Amino acid sequence: MLMNKFTQVVVVLCISMLSIFQTHAQVKTLENNKIPMDPIVGTGVTINSSPSLTGGASNTSNVVNGDLSDFSTIDLTLSLLGGGVGLTVQDAKQYYPAGNVVGFVVAPGAGILSASALSNISIKTFRDGTLQETATVSGGLLNASVLGGSIGKQVLSFTTTKDFDQVQLFYSGGIVGLFNSLKVYYAFEGPAATTNADCSTKWVNGGTGTYNVSKGLYSTGLAICASGVSNEANVVNASTTDYASMDVLLAIALGSCNSYIEVTSPTTVPAGSEAGFVVSDGNSLINLSLLSAVTIETYNGTIKQESISGGSSLVKLGLLGNTNTYELGFKTTKAFNKIRIVSTSGLVSVLGSLRVHYAYSKLDSDNDGVSDCLDKCAGGNDLMDTDGDGIPDSCDANTINVAVSKTSSNNGAPVPQGTQVTYTIKATRASGSAAATGLEITDLLPTGVTYVSHSAESGTTYDQTTGKWYIGSLLGGDKLVATLTITVTAVAEGVIFNTATITAKDGNTNSGKESETVCISVPVKLCSNESLTLTAPTTLTSYQWKKDGVVIPGATTNTLTVTEAGSYTLDGTLTGNCPTGNCCPIIVELLPIPVLAVTPQPANGNCTGSTITLGVTGTNTATYAWAGPNGFTSTSANPTVTTSATSIHAGVYTITGTSSLGCTATATVQVNVNPVPTATANAPLQVCLNGTANLSVSSNPAGASYSWSGPAGFTSTAANPTIASVTSANIGTYSVNVTDINGCTATATTSISLYTAPVITITPTALAVCEQSPITLTASGASTYSWTGPNGFTSTSANPTVTASASMTQHAGVYTVTGVSGDNCSATATVNVMVNPKPMVTATTVVAVNCSGVPLTLSATTDGTSPTYSWTGPNSFTSTAASPVVSANATADMSGTYTVTVTDSKGCIGTASVAVTVNPAPTTTITGGPTITVCSETPIAFTLSGKQSGETYAWSGPNSFTSTVAEPTVTASATAANQGVYTVVVTNTLGCSQTATVSVTVNATPAGATSTAEVCAGGSVTLTATGGSTYSWDTGETTASISVSPMLSTTYRVTKSSAQGCSIVDVFNVTVKAAPTLAGAVSICSDAGTPATSTDDTYTFTLNPSGGSGTTYTVSGSGITTATANYGAPSSPFGPFLISGGAKTITITDANGCSLNNVTITPPATCSSCPQVCVPITITKVR
């Protein structure tokens, strides 16, 4: 438990229900130190002082004071008032995990604890005041057992399924009887597997020893005894529930009757051990009067050693489990090898029966009341644990070994300002060291970074405000490492240090490293017109500044002025000649000032009314600021001053550029504004086609230049240009720009238009006709027409007919028509007439002989381009395909004439016909097809159905098989070579053929195999069978490959079967080879003669493994020179290796290739004595 844990104990008398002491929920750490029956004790106990609880319990602080031998007493008679009584223990700092056992150590204050009384007891758990679980006997969760080594103490406990921080013992009330008070020693928790183990040695047969039992009956005085012991053999048989009966009845005479059972052990039990019997009487509450007549005696051989009456306070009566079975025994002071239980009757007749189940003993070597199997402090007192860490005071050195380590995710790389970096803090408990309790690490973030997020190990908490990482008792049991990550943003330039330090440890002495500091370098941005002053403390005895790892000559004082980019470090010396430095370099990034290139203004200035735009191109410039006449300002790099310039905009404009880090530069530009000239163009012009157009412009001032532009790419620099022959291309708007000597421009426009000319249209625009077709031309758009064309053609008709029967040689060519409008404007148009030939067509069948049962396919060929086809034939056959299939299975009624009509891409048509005769085909088939399956070494032969006279046959098949016999035999003994498809072609006298096929499968038995394999002990090997479809291994597996890890050399068998059921057995003989084991590794440390410097510290190590095969072994690993050594003696040293290089991972391989892998050789922390001191450097920026 946590030392100084804040624990609450509350004793409550409930009227209607138990009132649970609750505290406000708070963040708690996980305690899971894996210590069995770890008492929940510590300081800070408070007790509810309400007057209504007076008398409910006494000495309640004893429950949590760490003294496990004292107790608080609860008066159970108060439960009769209604509600019940209870006692609650609460831990305010930590919680315990689900799966742990929780409970109380108790003893009956008066009377005995019976199963019926136990049914009124429950244990409840809570988390932050909320009920988690309730365990009762009737619910099957609450268990009762005897605390080994104690006299009369009971353990009441259950295994939890939920986390908890509070546990309550509750008595619900009912008839109290002999059981009227309860002693509560302490609450506890711990792992289920190790809590309150049964420490008793049961003196029964069937185990490691042989025990003998005997009985007896004797009297004193004049007593006549009527009965004795029965079924005594049950006391030593293997069953612990069987029993012997001791019946005693006093006769009339005076005296006593004594019945006894004694059990003898083959070994002697030392003094200080508990000795006794497990007994019951068959009732819900054992008869105490009966027990008062019982005596337990020990013997060593025939000599009585001790005798304790059942009514003595030295006798323990402990309830076993949830039944009315009890351990009745006492703590011996002498060695013994025999235990006797005696039942004695007195002067008054006592009739009773005592059940004796078995004898037992429990060893308590250190005599502290805790059996050896539960001892936490062998040879010491287990009953004092004042600091609550689970280690008894007599064995508690109050020392821990926890080391703090801290790293940053940048791994030494610079961290740009504004970016994130993650710190990783680890608390590592040395393996085998004591559990750390109350552990707290402080990591308060420096001002140069801001918190982003964190991730704390489950069961711990981190407060980013205080920097406290509460680990508590997490580092206990098998938990060695706790990890915290903190992600921050770097917000300041320079070197930022961050330290993690153990600030609380429950007062324990820690031998581990308690603090670690890391630093990060955030580059310092420096403008080229600035400098930095670096200042180190004046307490150093020497100084040497470096830039980029190179000594700066003369830089040997505590200050350095920096004007260049680079990585700056300081090598200094502390008092005692120990070296020091700034740990993380000061990274300086030199930034140039902005370079501004102002866009020049026009050489002659700006014209009035124009747009004035300023422009600048900046390098290393983030922002711009313009200022100029008439109050002008702008933050744009290329601002528009105005879209209509006047004289008020003339003057000097200044641009100031600023870099992203505040570096600035300025530049200026002069802006001038000039007046614009005037210009007037002539009025719009209208001319005839091919007429002349005269353009003109008048302007002011003198000395101006002119620039005309217009349709059809017209340009001119004359003031009054002329267009001599106007066409439709010249129609449109003409512009003239008049530019004065300052470059200012005025613009004027005019236009030219034409009279409308006729538009002649020939329909269609192109004409193509087939041979022997008429040719007719059509024109429109004019008043009169004149046609000309090939072969001397002329006509004055708008729509002339050239010919009624076109000829390719006489009528093809270009025809031209000239049309004249009513305004005597003329125009021409042409049309190209093509005369296309008719296509030539040929019709055939695809094969010369057409047979029934096979496809009947026609074929048409033509010289026409992009032809279409139209077939007709017998049985109303039609098709538009060039080579149509009349039928995939031709018949005789398809004979006849087939005609095809072909139309080419020009619409010209040709025809052709073909006569078709369809002959009958054979109808032969292969008997038994289409598939035949045979086994190897059996015949393959074929028979045919439907044979006809005069037919011929051609067989072919696998393995070059051929035959012309109608029904051949392929082979008398089939093999895999005969497997495949066989084909027969049958041809009749008309030349028609029929093809039939059959697929033959030859099934073969798989080939068997015997294989060997080797595997290193602890390793595995894959066995793979091949050649089968299914597999059945003698391991029960059914896959082709299995992985086996035999401890001894083993033969494995697999039955493999083909898909057809042929099978055979493969055999695999696997030999197991022993692997080496590591007996020891010794590291030797060296400070390299420089105790002040840890960076050159080295270590070497030697090995001494055992096991494996052969007399030698090989050592290998990353960074290790592979070497061979002899078994049975330490190896030669490996190394030296730099300690800063970290642990080495090696592999030890024996002569058979069996390896011991991933052996870690951990170096010492350091061999040097000088501390690592990081010198803080003050950075001052000078502008």
User: What is the reported pLDDT for 827?
Assistant: 79
Q: What residue spans define the domains of the chain?
A: 7-194, 201-362, 397-521, 525-591, 602-674, 678-754, 761-836, 841-919, 925-1003, 1010-1073, 1076-1161
- DSSP string over 10-67: EEEEESSSPPPP-------EE-----TTEE---S-------GGGTTTEE-GGGGSSSB
Q: What percent of the chain has pLDDT over 70?
A: 88
d(CA 318, CA 113): 8
Same fold, 7-194 and 925-1003: no
User: In the predicted model, is pLDDT for residue 1028 greater than 80?
Assistant: yes
pLDDT tens digits along 704-735? 888 999 999 999 988 899 998 888 888 999 99
- Cβ distance 432 to 478 under 8 Å? no
Q: What is the pLDDT of residues 393-448, one digit of tens each?
A: 888 788 888 989 999 999 889 999 999 999 999 999 988 888 888 889 999 999 99
Which residues on neighbouring strands pair with residue 354, listed in sequence order? Answer: 246
CA torsion angle 294 296 302 306 (round to 10): -120
CA distance 389 to 1021: 48
Mean pLDDT of 783-788: 88
> Is the pLDDT assigned to residue 847 strictly greater than 50?
yes
CATH of domain 678-754: 2.60.40.10
Report residue 2 as tokens. Answer: 């946590």
Domain range 925-1003, CATH architecture:
Sandwich (2.60)
C-alpha to C-alpha distances, 787 to 387, 759, 809, 905, nearest whole angstrom: 129, 16, 20, 29
Lowest mean pLDDT among 245-249, 430-434, 963-967: 245-249
Say what the alpha-carbon torsion angle 341, 345, 351, 353 is, to the nearest 10 degrees: 0
Report the topology of domain 7-194: Jelly Rolls (2.60.120)
**CATH architecture, range 602-674:** Sandwich (2.60)
For residue 362, give the amino acid letter.
K
325-331/316-320 β-pairing: antiparallel
The C-alpha atoms of residue 955 and residue 740 are separated, in whole angstroms, by 106
Average pLDDT of the chain, as a whole number = 83
Residue 6, pLDDT above cutoff 70: no
Listed in order, strand segments (DSSP E) in 506-565 are: 509-510, 515-522, 524-527, 531-535, 542-547, 550-551, 559-562
pLDDT tens profile 313-360: 677 777 676 667 888 888 899 999 999 998 877 433 444 678 999 999
- CA–CA separation, 1033 vs 1065, rounded Å? 9
Q: Which residues have a Cβ under 8 Å from the Cβ of 842 and sit 6 or more positions away?
A: 860, 861, 862, 912
C-alpha–C-alpha distance, residues 911 and 900, integer Å: 6
Nearest to 850 by CA among 991, 949, 752, 718: 991
Q: Could you tell me which CATH number the domain at 1010-1073 has?
A: 2.60.40.3010
What's the rounded Cα separation, in Å, for the pair 986 and 996? 8
**What is the CATH T-level fold of the domain 525-591, as seen in this structure?**
Immunoglobulin-like (2.60.40)
Q: How far apart are CA 638 and CA 984, in angstroms?
A: 92
CA proximity to 1148, closest of 1075, 1096, 1066: 1075
Cα 869 to Cα 902: distance, rounded to the nearest angstrom: 5
Alpha carbons 850 and 195: distance in angstroms, whole number: 100
Task: Report the distance separating Cα 316 and Cα 338, nearest Å.
Answer: 18
CATH topology of domain 397-521: Immunoglobulin-like (2.60.40)
CA distances from 265 to 336, 352, 1085 (A): 9, 28, 56
Per-residue model confidence (pLDDT) at position 194: 63
Q: How far is CA 520 from the centre of its chain?
A: 30
pLDDT band at 495 (very low <50, low <70, confident <90, very high): very high
pLDDT of residue 149: 60
Fold of 841-919: Immunoglobulin-like (2.60.40)
Copy the structure tokens of residue 386.
Answer: 């004042």
Q: How confident is the model at residue 825 (pLDDT cuts 50, 70, 90)?
A: low
C-beta separation of 657 from 623 below 8 A: yes
pTM: 0.53
Distance of alpha carbon 347 from alpha carbon 250, whole angstroms = 8
What is the CATH code of the structural domain delimited by 201-362? 2.60.120
242 by DSSP, 3-state: which? Answer: coil
Question: Amino acid letter at 422?
Answer: T
CATH architecture of the domain 761-836 equals Sandwich (2.60)
